[in-house]
Structures are given as C-alpha cells and as structure tokens.
Amino acid sequence: MAMYPRIRQQNIAVFGESGSGKTVLVSSFYGPTQVGSDTNDLWHLVADKTGQGNRLLQNYLGMRDSATTPMPTRFTNTTYDFSVKLKTGEGEEAKKRPFDELRLAWHDYPGEWFEEDPSSDEEHLRRIDTFKTLLSSDVALLLVDGQKLLDNRGEEERYLKSLLGNFRQNLVRLKDDLLGDDGPLTEFPRIWILSLSKADLFPDWDVNTFRELVILKASEDIERLRSTLAELVVAPEALSIGEDFMLLSSAKFELQPSNGEPARIDLTQRVGLDLVLPIASLLPLERRVLWEERMTLPRKVVDTLADGADVIAAALTGTKFARVEKLLRRVAKSSQQADLVAKVLPLLADAIEVVGPKLQEMNEQARSEHQYLRAMVTQFKIDLESGVAEKVLRKQK
C-alpha cells in the first residue's frame, strides 16, 4: 500500500553577494501567500518550519506597512523549506495521481562567502558542508545586483568581472574538498540562470536587454566560470551557464531623495518570483529532454538529472503513473543506454512539447474534472510560457 502523502521535492540554489536582495526575494516569494493577496486557487504555500515562516512574513509585513527592509543576514547559510499543498482533491482522483505534495528547498548561500576568505578552518568546513547541501539542486540562480550595475553605469564590466571572478575563485577554493577521492560529481546544479535582482531599477529593460549587456561586458568571464564548473562535474557537456537569463524584483521601491532610504515599497509590483516554482519543477525536465536528444549521457548522470522528471511528466500529461512505473522498471533492468532513450524519452518529450492553446485546454480540462495536481503542473507550464512571452525569462534553445 502506498504511503500518503506522496512527496516530490525540488531544490533551487540562490547565490548572490551581500546586499543583492536574497532575503527580500524569498520574503516576497512567501509573504503574499499568507496575507490574502495571493489569488492562486489551486495550492497553498506553507513554510515547513513555523519560526522560519514567521520571520519571512515579518520581513514582508515590515516592507509593506513601514517600508522597512529586512536586516542583513551576514554569514548565515539558510535552507528555506516550503510545501506546496493542493487546496482540494480527495478520493479516487487523489489515489491516481503520481504525487500529492510538492516541496521546494530554497538554498541561500551566504553572500559574504563570495567576497571574503574563511576566517578559520571551522568556517572553511562550514562553507564546504553548506555547498554540499545544495548539490541536489538542478537549478541555481546567480544574482546580478541591479543597484551595483547602476552604480557602475557605463563601466558595468567592472562589477560583472568582480562578481563572476569572486564566485569562480570561491569554487576553485572548494574544488578539492568537494571532489575528494571520487572525482567529478554526478549530482550537481546543471542549470545556472543569470538573474538580475532589483530589476525594478531598470523599468525599460526586458530580459534580452539584460542578456545583451552581460554578454557584451563579461562573455569571457562567463566562459571562465563555465570552465571551472565543468571541472566539477561528470558529463560537463550537460551544463548550462550563460544561456538562461531572468529578471527578478521583489517590489517597486520609491526612495527618499534626502537619504536614499525607502519611502514606500509597492509589493504588488513583483517580477519573476511567480516563476520560481515553475522553473524548479519544469525547467530540469525540459533540459533533460533537450540534452538527451542532442547527446549521449552516462546512465548515472541521467538518473540524477531532473530525477523527478518521470512523475512531473506523468502529472503534466495525465498519464497513469502505474504505466510509467512499469516502463521505468523495465528500463532499469536493461544496461543499454539506447533502451532508456527509446522508451523513456518520448514520455518526457510529450510532456514538454504541449504548448499554447492545447496547453490551456489541458489546464481547463484538468480544472473541470477536478484533476488538481495536473491543473497545478499545467499552470506551472503556462506561467513558464508567459514568462518567456513577457520577456522576463529567456531559456536555452
């Protein structure tokens, strides 16, 4: 007998220098879902740790009601654990779905660790342990601080080279300890999205404007970072950096001319945060299909790359998961890579290829038939499409 609830966990790693807005972003991701301003009708977002949820909500309310930004969290590594719980769905419909609850682990890597050397052996070990906690993430967001871009207007390369160089050096310092005696890592974030935080400072920009600036000013630095990341992983050809970009803004900040402090924070004007769940859930599935179509990957890499792709695909297409499980068991008994591609890839490809009116139709049908999980996942895909269409997100092609 299956145990309930059946849980599917996704992980996302967020990297950014101190002051780049990581705490504000996660507070604005969570806060609206707790105060009645969230219009989503399919799921609740719940903080798994009550104290952590209260702190994020306090941060959000402080910004909303008194234009107070959260206190900096210096040298603090935090994993925020959220559960996405379906609002409805019982009985036979609930029994047939491939999973009941989606969990999101949001790993926040301390910004100061980009910029400063460890102060002790203990801190060095803590950095290694912290990095290891996020190795299960398929997706990493590398934040480009919009304020620092603005401060370096006309000489943006100074900031971008510093940001990318510091991060690369941080990885170089951790390399030997991460690899140990086993060599390159099989499980490691494969999708690195360059993300403009505080995008509200550039109201005339879309994601293409941001991408073109970064490539113009720092393409060689991106390539150096790619080379360093490639040294850490098995099958480095399955690695995306400098190919995915997004805009992120937690709110629109109106500043006081006298001191530059916030006079008002409009938290209704968010950018990109509604894409976090769709990106964590569906982008790894899309990228796995793309890479498997273009290259032959080692079996051990495929097994960890978007390791929830089967259940996500089943939820998206409405395929009976019992049939998917049977297929995967047959493939698992085979040592032939060709069997994996020939039998599993079409299922995953079917899930990502549905777009446009057909996707909208699937979503409406799932809602009308009370297939709540399928409605949620198809809504994620609709949101992902909208993010691309509205030029908030640009994905590898």
2 confidence band (pLDDT: 50, 70, 90)? very low
What mean pLDDT value characterizes the chain?
A: 85
What is the dihedral angle through the alpha carbons of 151, 154, 159, 162, rounded to the nearest 10 degrees?
A: -150
91 confidence band (pLDDT: 50, 70, 90)? low
Report which residue type is found at 252: K
> How distant, in Å, are the alpha carbons of 20, 45, 64, 69, 124 from that of 25?
9, 15, 14, 11, 27
Tell me the percentage of the chain whose pLDDT exceeds 90: 49
| DSSP one-letter code for 199 | G
Q: What is the mean pLDDT of residues 235-245?
A: 95
- pLDDT of 1 strictly over 70: no
**What is the reported pLDDT for 121?**
85
The model's pLDDT over 14-53, given as tens digits with 9 standing for 90+, comes to 999 988 989 999 999 999 999 876 667 888 899 999 999 9
Q: Which two tokens stand for residue 147?
A: 């304020």
Backbone phi and psi for residue 376, each to the nearest 5 degrees, phi listed first:
-65, -45
Helices (H), the chain: 22-30, 50-66, 91-96, 112-115, 121-133, 146-151, 156-179, 207-230, 276-294, 299-304, 309-317, 321-332, 337-353, 356-368, 372-389
Q: What is the mean pLDDT of residues 63-70?
A: 88
Q: What is the mean pLDDT of residues 124-129?
A: 87
Omega before 5 within 30 of 0, i.e. cis? yes
105 confidence band (pLDDT: 50, 70, 90)? very high
The model's pLDDT over 262-312, given as tens digits with 9 standing for 90+, comes to 778 888 889 999 999 999 999 998 898 888 888 888 878 877 877 677 778
What is the dihedral angle through the alpha carbons of 151, 154, 157, 163, rounded to the nearest 10 degrees?
A: 10
Length of the chain: 397
- pLDDT of 330 strictly over 60: no
**What is the reported pLDDT for 3?**
53
- pLDDT of 260 strictly over 70: no
**What is the reported pLDDT for 297?**
83
**What is the reported pLDDT for 305?**
77
**What is the reported pLDDT for 99?**
75
- pLDDT of 314 strictly over 70: yes
pTM: 0.90
CATH fold for the domain made of 7-290: Rossmann fold (3.40.50)
Other CB atoms within 10 A of residue 278 CB: 20
**What is the reported pLDDT for 112?**
82
Give the N- to C-terminal CA distance of the chain in Å, as an integer: 42
Ordered by start, the domain boundaries in the chain are 7-290
- pLDDT of 71 strictly over 90: no
Q: What is the mean pLDDT of residues 143-158?
A: 96
Q: What is the mean pLDDT of residues 343-369?
A: 83
**What is the reported pLDDT for 56?**
95
339 confidence band (pLDDT: 50, 70, 90)? low
| DSSP one-letter code for 137 | -
Lowest mean pLDDT among 113-117, 144-148, 240-244: 113-117
The model's pLDDT over 155-214, given as tens digits with 9 standing for 90+, comes to 999 999 999 999 999 999 899 999 988 889 999 999 999 999 999 999 999 999 999 999
